[in-house]
Structure 1
Amino acid sequence: MRALVITGPHRAEVQDVPEPVPAAGEVVVDVQRAGICGTDVEFFTGEMAYLHTRHAEYPMRIGHEWMGTVSSVGSGVDPAWIGWRVTGDTMLGCGVCRRCTQGRQHVCEDRLELGIRGGKPGALAEKVATPARSLHRLPDGVDEAAGAMVEPGGNAFRSVQAAALGPGDRCLVLGPGTIGLLSALFARAAGAEVHVLGRSERSLAFARTLGFDGVWTEEQLPQVAWDAVIEASNAQHLPAKALELVEPGRRVVYIGLAGVPSPIDTRGLALKDVTAVGVLSASPGLAGTIDAYASGTVDPRPLIAATVSLDDLPAILAGERPDGAGPGPKFHVAL
């Protein structure tokens, strides 16, 4: 089968590789749609931290935002899965440690991460193998495009849950990338007044098309009370800015990651009685995201700039935007 392989920093190509065979407890999925994200770009550039901690190494096969149809199952898996449209969890815990048995497999010390960590091949390929326990069925109301947006949506869903927003609360999202915009959409669905802060005029212009209550640069940001701040950028200074901006007694959610340490002053955290929550993965939010997409409460599809072929990906990972691409931050591959 054909798969995208990153062979080294700034080197990616489509290769013919052996088709996966499902191990015990696994299924093989015929991938229909997959997305790329900032993590994938960092693997391409060589900046991803896992490359330096030896949790990942080249050559590697990326892809952790996907949907498809189950085509075969391994021993111990109910064959009724065959033919189901599914997506799956990226975080594949060992299943036996204390964290896994308590439902926190996404922070298992020995976890694999599909297309990211531990050498588990990803879904930017015609087929992918993954444990059956990681699967989530997709209802008919979730099409291929939305199905491949469940994983980033799960991160955003959890961020809004962590922000504890209610109707009438005012939420500020820092960073108008995919996760930030999805967080803003989920926050609006929760009844909040939603504002987005960004930097580039292209991303800000696109955010304005989504109808949020305000879209700002740092210089333009009004001095109002922010009941929750969701920090979804990669800017080194914005985690501290989020703590500065949030109302006393309310919540800051940290989901963005800078490429360098981004310190905060814990005196501000304590003296303002602020709750700070870190969000690592989509895992506990996948089911809720699927429900929101199926009901139409949140529609992630406007964020997709273009759907391309596997052969187009090396250029996109290198920063090119294909002719005719829309203004959104997300690229999908149709397989």
Structure 2
Amino acid sequence: MRAPRYVAALAAAGLLAGCGAASSPNAPLKMAFVYATSTQNPFQEMAYGAKAAAGDAGNVDLALSAPSGVDGPQEVALFQSAIRNSKDGVALETLTPDLFVRPLNQAADLGVPVVAVDTVPPAGTKVELYIGNSNTELGKALGEEFVKQVPENATGDVVLGNAIPGLTLLQQRLDGMKSVIQAKRPGLKVLGPFDSGSEPTSNFTKWNDLVKANPNAIAYLGVGAQDAVSLALIQKNTGRRFLAGSCDPDAAALQAVKDGYVFALASPEHWLKGYVALRLLIDHKRGKPMPKGWWNTGSLVVNAANIDQVMARQKDEDSRKAAFKAETEKQLADPNAHLRPLGEAN
């Protein structure tokens, strides 16, 4: 994903500000969205949403920045640059939250508003607003879709994969999914979760090994963006069919649902997170109080019933913006309907 035209301008503006240049009251707001990687669908979706929010609000210079692969230290450097050059507000999405305690406190000391997106802000920081779906409920939703595929007395193995072991939000999805399977299909044996890798190449290799190591499993279920893509490709390559499900509306994963290789995707609706986070930062800078707590933007199950509608929505940036318009307006019009205490985020 290419960053907007204004990244270089932001850097220059930061240098001028350091030399004591005064900003015009009508100058564009300087804002940034820093995210984990530019190479995977979830983070691209959030960036699209943030970009759309800046466009809708008007007079906002938005810098989008991310490593070209998950790289926590590099993302820290990008964030530290953002709080120097985009002092009106920064939205942060990271897969390495523990690395951000000091940088987030630096932002607070500089008076830069920060909103956490997708990942709960780490303890020991002053970030008071988190925008994200319930990952526990997301996992349960995928579990409910899975149990529809097998009879109540089903037996056999179900293999679970975790794209980023140790990342709380993915574990919450797995716990939610596992709880449904164990409660509603007690004859099934749940194996894992096993490390399935987050980057496309490693994800395919690890899932291929898992399928070979567990050849009699009836299902392989993941919670990351690449899992459905890899599991569909394995079925195509081997001619073997099995139940596969995962999360995130990656274009190839959506096609796998359309083609029948994947029974469902649980979408965290990442676009909404990026949009809401940026819009709240902008509104705050323009006089509205900043909400506090966990803003649950919701989620969606994608299956055969709605796959055509979702694929049309995901065609391009304009189609996303049009499809989400009513929902963004609804959420922003009634913040209290979506806010819960930060400590309840799950």
* The two structures share one fold, judged by TM-score above 0.5: no
Normalised by the length of structure 1, the TM-score is 0.33
Normalised by the length of structure 2, the TM-score is 0.33
- Higher-Rg structure is 2
Higher helix share: 2
